[in-house]
Structure 1
Amino acid sequence: MTQFLVIYKAAASAAPEAPEDQQAAMAAWGAWMEKVGTHLADPGNPIGKSWTVTASGAAPGGNALPIMGYTILEADSIEAACQLVEGNPMLSDPLAEIEVAPIVPIEM
Structure 2
Amino acid sequence: MAKFLYVYHGSGKMPTEEAERQAAMDAWTNWYGKLGSAVVDGGNPVGMSKMVLPGGKVENNGGSNPTAGYTIVEAKDIDDAVGKAKDCPILMDPAFSVEIAPIIEVM
Q: Give TM-score, length-normalised by structure 2.
A: 0.92
Gaps of 5+ in 1: none
Deviation at 1:11, TM superposition (A): 0.9
Q: CA deviation at 1:62?
A: 2.5
Percent identity between matched residues is 38
- Aligned residue for 1:32, secondary structure, equals helix
Q: 1:17 is matched with which residue?
A: 16
CA–CA separation in structure 2 for the residues paired with 1:28 and 1:63: 27
Q: CA offsets per residue over residues 43-75 of structure 1, 9 Å max, x none?
A: 001111000012322331323431000000001
Give the equivalent residue in structure 2 for 1:78: 78
Secondary structure at the aligned position of 1:16 is classed as coil
Equivalent residues of 2:12, 2:95 under 8 A apart: no
Instruction: Determine the C-alpha separation between the residues in 1 that align with 2:7 and 2:84.
Output: 13
- Segments ≥4 residues shifted beyond 2 Å: 61-65
d(CA) in 1 for partners of 2:17 and 2:92? 17
Counterpart-to-counterpart distance in 2, 1:32 and 1:47? 19
Deviation at 1:91, TM superposition (A): 0.5
Distance 1:56 1:17 in 2: 39
Tell me the TM-score normalised to structure 1 length. Answer: 0.91
Where does the alignment leave 5 or more consecutive residues of structure 2 unmatched? none
